[in-house]
Amino acid sequence: MLIVCTVLAIGCAVIPSVWAARAGVLVALVVAWVSVLMAWRQVENLRISHLAELKAMRQSAVEQEQRHHKESMDMIDTFANRVGMLSKTLSDTRSKLDRAENELSTLRGDKAALQYKVAAGNKKVNSLEARIAELETELAGVLADAEQGQLVDLPGHTVADAGVPSAEDIWENGNDSTIVDLSRVAFPEASKDERKHA
């Protein structure tokens, strides 16, 4: 359209009439005015498209920032959960270690007590073995004397020493039995003279 109007304006200028020149100027002014309007419209369209692009870029940047913020928060939550789980595991391990140390100290105390009891028992066993050896030696001497026909002075043990009741204990409660277990009767100990006489 601009080309057509320009050619028309030049054609009017070539014609040697005043009115044709005026018409050519008028056409040129109208064409200039239309060109300015179209240029402004084009600039406005460019401005609007540029603003739309800026708005889209800004929106994309905001969405990217929100997505990055959400990913960062998710990552922080994941790390916080892992730290919490590790802290709980560490706390459980420490409590188990404390319980194990308490049990270990208890077992050490029990071991010391048992070692003391074993040492005391060993000491008692050793003393009993020594006493048994003495009694066996004494018994061997007594048996040797008895085989040679010598009278032996046995140590004075009575049935009462073994916990057997005496005749008075048996008869004093009204137990008048006709059969008497003589092994349960405590006879008085014979003196050395009576033993030698026997």
Tens of pLDDT, residues 138-156: 888 888 877 776 655 555 5
Q: State the Cα–Cα distance between residues 181 and 170, nearest whole angstrom.
A: 10
pLDDT at 162: 47
pLDDT at 32: 78
Structure token pair of residue 82:
């892992």
Q: List, in order, residues 6 or more apart from 164 with CB less than 8 Å away.
A: 183, 184, 185, 186
Radius of gyration of the chain (CA): 66
Distances (CA, A) of 24 to 32, 38, 50: 12, 21, 38
The pLDDT tens digits of the residues spanning 49-107 come to: 999 999 999 999 999 999 999 999 999 999 999 999 999 999 999 999 999 999 998 99
CA angle (64 as vertex; 63, 65 as ends), nearest 5: 90
pLDDT at 114 over 60: yes
Q: What is the pTM of this model?
A: 0.36
- Do the beta carbons of residue 28 and residue 9 sit within 8 Å? yes
